[in-house]
Structure 1
Amino acid sequence: IFADFTPHIEPIALDEAFLDVTGSRNLFGDGTAIGHLIRNRIADELELPCSVGVATSKFIAKLASKRAKPIVTDGGVRPGPGVLEIAPGAELDFLHPLPIQALWGVGPVTFSKLDRIGVRHVGDLVALGRDALEVAVGRSAGRHLFDLANGIDTRPVESARDVKSISHEETFTHDIVDRDSMRVEVVRLADAVATRLRRHGSAARTIHLKVRFANFENITRSITPGSPVSSAPALVRALDEILEAIDPSTGVRLVGVGVSGFVEPVEQLSLLDLMDEDGRRSTADTDRDWSPASSAVDRIRDRFGRDAINPASVLRERGSAPGSRPWGPNSPDESEGSAGV
C-alpha cells in the first residue's frame, strides 16, 4: 500500500514506517490528504487500524502519529484523530507543552535529574538553555535533547532500496544491569533484524551491537563471521563473544542490533566455519541449521501475524513482540500500527 504512494519508504518496525511524499503531492494532494488515503486503504484492504503523523521531520511525525492514536481513559477508549498534521512553523507549539518523557532518550534517571531542577515539559528544557542542560545531564545527552526539544531532526527518509544496513534498537524504561537480561533483549532485536533481512532477500556479512549506558556513553562493536548469515540464532551466536566482554552492571539504557554488508543468501561451507576454537558449532553451522525453521517462522507470521511465534526466552522474560519498541518504551495506547509521513 505504501509503495502505491511513494517509493521512499523507511521501515522502522514490522508495522511502522516513515514515508517521504514530497514528490507525490501533485498526484495525491498534500501530506494530510495522503495520510487519509493510506489510512483508508489499510482499513478497507487489511481491516486494520492505523494512525498517521504528518510533519517536516521524522521525529515530529513520529510524535504526531502517537497523538493520532485512540486514547485509553478510565471511561474507555476515546477515538483519536487518525491523521494528525503538525504544520511547518507549528512544531514548537506542538512540542513545548509535551512532558519531557516524550523526547527520545529521557528515561527514569534523566527524568529524575531534570525533575529535580524543575524541568517537566519540553518547553522548560528549552528555557533552561543548552549549557545548563549539558551540566545537568552531560554534554552528549544535553546536545541531543536540546536539539530534539527545538524540533531539530535533519535525518532523511532512507528508502529500502537504498538501505545498506538494517538495525533495531530499544531504549528501556529501566536500566538493565545484568548480562542475562541484556542477552534476552539481543535475542528480541536479532529476531526483528533477521526477519527484515530475509524479507530484503539478503544475508549479512557483518553484525553490529550498540550499547548505550546510563551515563549516555555509547559503544559499538562489530563482528564478521566466516560466512554471511540471515537467521536470528546465528546473529545471536555471533554476538555472544561481544556480549561476554561488556559489563552492564553500571546500567544499560539502550541496546541495538544491526547488520550490513548485504549479499545474496547462498548455502556454502567455509573451511573457517567447520568449528569454532572453543569446540562449539560455528555461526555458519547455526545459520544453516536454522534456515528451514526461519523460513517456517516467516510463513507463520505472514499468515497469523507477527506475535504468532516468538523466541522462547523473549516470551518468558517480557512477552511483547520483537522490535516493537525501536523508538522507546511502549505506552498503553500504542496498540496499532503507525506511519510517519
Structure 2
Amino acid sequence: MKNNFYLFILMALFSLAKSQTPEILYYKFEGTATNIPNLATNPPTGTQIGEVMGNLTLGSNTTCLENGLIGSGSSGSSNYFNTKWNLSLSGSWTLHVKFNNYQNNTTLVYYLLGDALTGGNSFRMFTNGAPGAGGVRLSADGMSNVDIPGVFSATSSLVDIIIVYDSSLQNIKAYLNGVLKTTVTQTTPLVFNGALFKLGTYASNTGMKSGMTMDEFGLFNRAITDTEIASLNNFCSALSTDEVIKNTTTKVAVKDGSLILGKGRFGKYSIYDYSGREIISGDESSNSINIKSLQKGGVYIIKYDNISTRFKY
C-alpha cells in the first residue's frame, strides 16, 4: 500500500510538470543552428520547427539555461524568429516569456513580438512609448490594452512576464516576476485571426534592442493556474549564477534506472524536466538516485550541491 501511495505521488508530480508545458508554442532557443524545435505538447500543423531569420542570433544569454534569442534592433520585415504559425486564438490563453540583457536607457520603442499584420486584428507587444519608459504593452485591435509599468529599469536584470486571458472571467491579468501587476476587463470575447506570428519584432517595425535576449517563450491554450504561474516564474531564477550548467562538466551517469554520481554523494537535490518544471526532489545520502519514475527518452536537469547539469534517460 505504501509503495502504491509513493508511486501515485510521483505520477502526480510528473503529470503536473507535463501540464505546465505550453500546448501551442514553446521555444527554449537551445543549440547553435537557425532551426529551433517547438517543444509544445500539441503544436499546430507545420510549426514543429521555427527558424531564426535575418540578423537575429542565438547565444549565451544568462537568462535561463544556455542559449536564448538575441535581438538586433533591426527592421522586422526580414529580421525575426519565424514560428511558421498564423496567429489564431479564441477562448482562454496564456503567454509567457523571459527577457534579459536590456538596460532601459532610451525612449525608442522596441517591439518584442507580434503578427505580420499592420492593421486588421494585429497583435503586438512592445516596450517604451505608450506604456511609459520601461513599461510593456500588449495590444491588439478589439482588445483593451494591457500595460505593465516598470518592467525594464536602468539596470539589466532577469524579467519574467506572464499574461493570462480567462474567457470565463472576461479579463486579462498580467504578472511581472510572479507578481500580479494589472487586471484589464475585456468587454467582448477575444478572437484573433492574424498573419504570421513573429518573435523578436512585430510586422516591419524595429525589433528587440541589440543584445537584448528572449528565452522560454510559451503560448498555452488555456488560463494557467496560480501554482503554474509561480513555477514558471521561479524556474531559472532559482538557479544561481555560480552554478555549473554546461554539459562538458557533467559528473553524473545513467545506469539501470539510476542516476549515478561519479564521486561523493548527492545530498539535497531536485530534478527538472526539459521544460524546466521540478519533478522529483529529495535528500540522498548515497551516490545513486532511482529515476525509474521518469519518462524514458527525455532530457532532464538535476540540481545538487550548487551544481546544475543535464542528463538523458
Is the pair's TM-score, using the shorter chain for normalization, greater than 0.5? no
- Relative to the length of structure 2, the TM-score reads 0.27
- Pick 1 or 2: higher relative contact order, CA cutoff 8 A, min separation 6: 1
Which is helix-richer, 1 or 2? Answer: 1
